[in-house]
Amino acid sequence: MKTRLTPLTALLASVVLPAFAQQTPEDRALPEVQISAKSDKTAYDVKRSSSATKTDTLLRDTPQAVTVVSKDLIRDQSMQSLSDVVRYVPGIVAAQGEGNRDTAVFRGNSSTGDFYIDGVRDDVQYYRDFYNIDSVEALKGSNAMIFGRGGSGGVINRVTKQAGWRAVREASLTLGSWNMRRATADVGQALNEAAALRVTGMVEDSGSYRQGVSVQRSGINPTLALRAGANTSVVLGYEHFKDERTADRGIPSYQGLPVNTDVSTFFGSHDVNRVSARVDALSALIEHDFGHGLSLRNRSRYADYDKLYQNIVPGAVNAAGTMVALSGYNNATQRKNLFNQTDLMYTLDTGAIRHKLVGGVELGRQETDNFRNTAYFTGVGANVTSINVPLGNPVTTTAVTFQQKASDANNHGVVTAKSVYVQDQLEFSPQWQLIAGLRRDSLAVDFTNKRTKENFQTTDTPVSPRLGLVFKPVTAVSVYASYSLAYVPRAGDQLSSLTLTNQALDPEKFKNLEIGAKWDVLPDLSASVAVYQLDRSNVAMADPADVTRMILVDGQRSKGLELGLSGNITRDWSVMGGYAYQDAKITKTQSATVLAGASIAQVPTHSASLWNRYNFAPAWGAGLGVVYRSDLYASTDNTVVIPGFTRLDAALYYTVNKNFNLQANIENLLDKKYYAFANSNNNITPGSPRALRVSLNAKF
């Protein structure tokens, strides 16, 4: 761990030591102090974050529900995917994502675009890996003031492993059920006093409990840290990530429930169903401390994404329950993102009030091409786009040709974003704090339908306020209330749905009202509670009086309660858990299948999780977790129910010596049949049977 002179310390030094303040910047530079501490205590409790406020702030002083999944929890549970992480985040659930992408439902709002890496947008539809991730931050509620467009019900930010001057030598080999094979490495060291290098890497070649499903992925992420002067630091990074897998759309429903079939049963075509994603990303972070409480941070990211998914999809089962319809399509997306964020931070006192000011500018450009084809079953007929196969044998080998039909997308879009924002964190006294911020975005979309040659252009200029009040009756407890707004443009979270009928409509608006409390029960144990109401308005629907027109309505309300617990009850007993009650309803009839009063899809009324790790000897530890989810609807028409479930997970840890340790993770310990998530009424993913993963972890 490294401790640097903070802006506040520099300001105090200039007051207390006037002679010091009169020296030149070179003379004032203090030697870096390095503090090394070794602890074998598991750390699930994270005290601070800069993602929610853009400043280094105690989570206890942040007027918003925030859950941080630490690197220790990621390691202890052998987490490798977003669905693994959100299992322990109250208020967020994972959806299927059509078997090709991460999809999260934030307080009743489904999104494939509200994903960030080190605070910068990472919004293409693909499955993210955690080989280079230090922690994961889930921020609930409307987050546009910090993150810009989107952030309607929350965001997920991955914090990457960065180069530093501490030596890192780690590697892990994991083997598991169904030929699960995965290896990771993390190597870093100082090159000299001014430069340090770190490289993380991963390779995986695994099967699945789902028949014929496999995944091959690899990634490498080098970062270089530079000391460019006494008060300036630079971190440069590059990531190459590739993911190849079988596109698995799960199973259909029958008579209002998932069809009764073995959890391994695959629907579609093993030869046709596939996903390919490639990410190449460059990043740069520059930080400079001017002293006297003033600092500058500039972050840039350029990312080139290439994504293709292709599938044969299960549809409706016939009334007799003997046949199932299959249809298909493929979809290619190429996107180039370029974002630059500049933040100027200033800490000062005005009388008895302390201010932490942030002013910033974000510039972005996203260029996207989408191309979709429909599957034609040419083995049956030249114009056949759907076939029926026996429910008992739903895999087809019929010849398929992919070609465009009139409704298939062939789009090109360029989005330019210009944003300015300002925020003040005011500390009136040890008991009272206020955070107030305002952001103005200018989002210009130039969208071309290359198939019809139509061009649509729109510019949205939403203003996103944020206001939060914190009261601390004692140091370890805070009570807060907050208000925030967020907007989603008419082009959607993937910028691909602009049409003649919606281009002139205002963006969808999301208003979040929240009250909550946070309590550091023990030095390393934190608890939180949040109660919220999130309203979605400006929802577009066809005008009942003129179906050629679109009108805007107040379309959705989510209300809920979230509880969180993380940290150490004792030195040897670590916990991470949460509970969420969610009531998410349609408030205005929007179509023949989206009716007022209907429940929002993929939102359970109750969900809970609790993970325990206990070290019962210096070399031995064990973990036990429970995950519960109540029933939910597969889609907003509320005709298919995904049954709730309770699942037990377990782990065993053994330290061989100072360099090696072994861990065994068992998912679904009691081998219960359940359904993990869905995308629609006929895309439902069965959960894994009992699965074992054994990892050998090495440190040198």
For residue range 136-155, list pLDDT tens digits in order: 999 999 999 999 998 889 99
Q: What is the pLDDT, as a whole number, of residue 501?
A: 80
pLDDT digits (tens, 9 = 90+) for 9-49: 333 333 323 332 333 333 333 333 333 334 467 789 999 99
Q: What is the pLDDT, as a whole number, of residue 550?
A: 67
In residues, how long is the chain?
Answer: 700
Report the mean per-residue pLDDT for the chain: 91
Least trusted range by pLDDT, from 33-37, 316-320, 535-539: 33-37
Residue type present at position 150: G
What mean pLDDT is predicted for residues 45-70? 94
Q: What is the pLDDT, as a whole number, of residue 548?
A: 61
Q: What is the pLDDT, as a whole number, of residue 555?
A: 87
What mean pLDDT is predicted for residues 540-563? 79
Using 50, 70 and 90 to split pLDDT, how confident is the model at 547? low
Q: What is the pLDDT, as a whole number, of residue 546?
A: 67
pTM equals: 0.92
Higher pLDDT, 3 or 392: 392
Q: What is the pLDDT, as a whole number, of residue 539?
A: 83
Encode 255-287: b = buried (16+ Cβ within 10 Å), e = exposed. eeebbebebebbbbbbebbbbbbbbebebebbb
DSSP run (H or E) holding 534: strand 525-537
Report whether pLDDT(543) > 70.
Answer: no
Tell me how far apart the 2 most distant CA atoms of the chain are, in Å.
Answer: 90
Using 50, 70 and 90 to split pLDDT, how confident is the model at 551? low
Owner of token pair 């030195």 = 571
What mean pLDDT is predicted for residues 592-618? 94
β pairing state of 154-160 and 115-117: parallel
Quick one: which of 316, 416, 328 has its CA closest to 364?
416
pLDDT digits (tens, 9 = 90+) for 88-145: 999 999 999 999 999 999 999 999 999 999 999 999 999 999 999 999 999 999 999 9
Q: What is the pLDDT, as a whole number, of residue 591?
A: 85
pLDDT digits (tens, 9 = 90+) for 491-506: 888 888 878 788 888 8
Domain boundaries, the chain: 39-699
pLDDT digits (tens, 9 = 90+) for 199-257: 999 999 999 999 999 999 999 999 999 999 889 999 999 999 999 999 999 999 999 99
Report whether pLDDT(8) > 70.
Answer: no
Percent of the chain surpassing pLDDT 90? 85
Q: What would the 3-class secondary structure string for 274-303 be?
A: EEEEEEEEEEEEEEEEEECCEEEEEEEEEE
Q: What is the pLDDT, as a whole number, of residue 497?
A: 80
Higher pLDDT, 13 or 56: 56
Report whether pLDDT(446) > 60.
Answer: yes
What mean pLDDT is predicted for residues 575-591? 94
Whether 653 contacts 662, CB under 8 Å = yes
Whether 355 contacts 434, CB under 8 Å = no
Q: To which CATH superfamily is domain 39-699 assigned? A: TonB-dependent receptor, beta-barrel domain (2.40.170.20)
Report whether pLDDT(666) > 70.
Answer: yes
CA neighbours within 13 Å on the CB side: how many for 443?
25
Cα distances (angstroms) measured from residue 209 to each of 149, 217, 599, 647:
38, 18, 31, 17
The C-alpha atoms of residue 523 and residue 517 are separated, in whole angstroms, by 17
Report whether pLDDT(6) > 50.
Answer: no
Q: What is the pLDDT, as a whole number, of residue 592?
A: 85
Q: What is the pLDDT, as a whole number, of residue 2?
A: 39
pLDDT digits (tens, 9 = 90+) for 470-493: 999 999 999 999 999 999 988 888
The C-alpha atoms of residue 328 and residue 312 are separated, in whole angstroms, by 4
Quick one: which of 659, 652, 588, 655 has its CA closest to 614?
652
Q: What is the pLDDT, as a whole number, of residue 42?
A: 79
Q: What is the pLDDT, as a whole number, of residue 34?
A: 36
Q: Is 675 exposed, middle or buried (0-12, 13-18, 19+ CB in 10 A)?
A: buried
| Tokens standing for residue 237 | 């990074």
Residue type present at position 602: Q
Q: What is the pLDDT, as a whole number, of residue 22?
A: 34
Report whether pLDDT(700) > 80.
Answer: yes
- Tell me if residue 596 falls in helix, strand or coil: coil
